[in-house]
Amino acid sequence: MTDTNSPSAAASAPLRFLSVKQVLDRLSISRSLLLKLRKSGDFPRAVPVCEKRRAFLEHEIVAWMESRVALRDQEQDDD
């Protein structure tokens, strides 16, 4: 039986870590803006990969991006 509460079950693809650079490239933002987003609490938290390395889960970044699009669409509907 598959645990539907696990991150791997929630994602349609296998888990994949993204580096900070990959996240910056995917979102087309600066490192300083990424830091602001992380501090706001409205951005996926990084996962400790090892002692000095953190990464982001790809499906969480994609979900965050989709939420931005949904917010935009909702705002357009309100106009």
CATH of the domain at 58: 1.10.238
The total number of structural domains in the chain stands at 1
Residues 6+ away with beta carbon under 8 Å from 47:
17, 54, 55, 56, 57
Is 68 a domain residue? yes
User: Structural domain of residue 68, as residue ranges?
Assistant: 15-78
- Name which residue leads in pLDDT, 42 or 62: 62
Is 3 a domain residue? no
H helix or E strand, kind and range, residue 47: strand 47-50
Is 36 a domain residue? yes
**pLDDT category of residue 79 using cuts at 50, 70 and 90:** low
Q: How far apart are CA 38 and CA 72, in angstroms?
A: 20
pTM of the predicted protein model: 0.77
Is 37 a domain residue? yes
Average confidence score pLDDT of the chain: 87
